[in-house]
Amino acid sequence: MADAANDIRADLEKQIADLKKEMSKISKSLASRASDAMDDAEEMFEDGKGRAGQAVARVRDQASAAVGAMRENPGTTATVLSTVGLLGLAAGMLLSGVLSGDRRR
């Protein structure tokens, strides 16, 4: 009986040692994958940062050109902005009438 208990104990200790080795392998594999994922994320961040900087520069250039055109043509600018404002007001009133008409029904 003692021999059977010793055999079971030895077998369990071997299984535990094997499980510890497997857990160590899995842990190393996960650490490697996490490191690779972090490197990929850093690369994507740097790429996105560069693209965002280029986009900001383009928008800044276009805004500067638009402001320059407005300063050169104040009468046209006022006309365009007034027209856009009046169209917005008309659209708002039209939508308001449509929406309030649905409530009455």
Question: Where along the chain do its domains lie?
Answer: 1-72, 74-105
The pLDDT value recorded for residue 102 is 58
Is the predicted pLDDT of residue 104 greater than 60, yes or no?
A: no
Question: How far is it, in rounded angstroms, from Cα 85 to Cα 92?
Answer: 10
Nearest to 34 by CA among 42, 24, 46: 42
The pLDDT value recorded for residue 5 is 86
The pLDDT value recorded for residue 72 is 92
2-72 and 74-104 are packed helices; what angle lies between their axes, rounded to 10 degrees? Answer: 120
The pLDDT value recorded for residue 103 is 58
**Would you say 36 and 43 are in contact if contact means Cβ atoms under 8 Å apart?**
no
The pLDDT value recorded for residue 23 is 95
In tens, the pLDDT along 77-101 reads 999 999 999 999 999 999 988 887 6
The pLDDT value recorded for residue 4 is 85
Greater confidence, 28 or 102? 28
In tens, the pLDDT along 21-80 reads 999 999 999 999 999 999 999 999 999 998 999 999 999 999 999 999 999 999 999 999
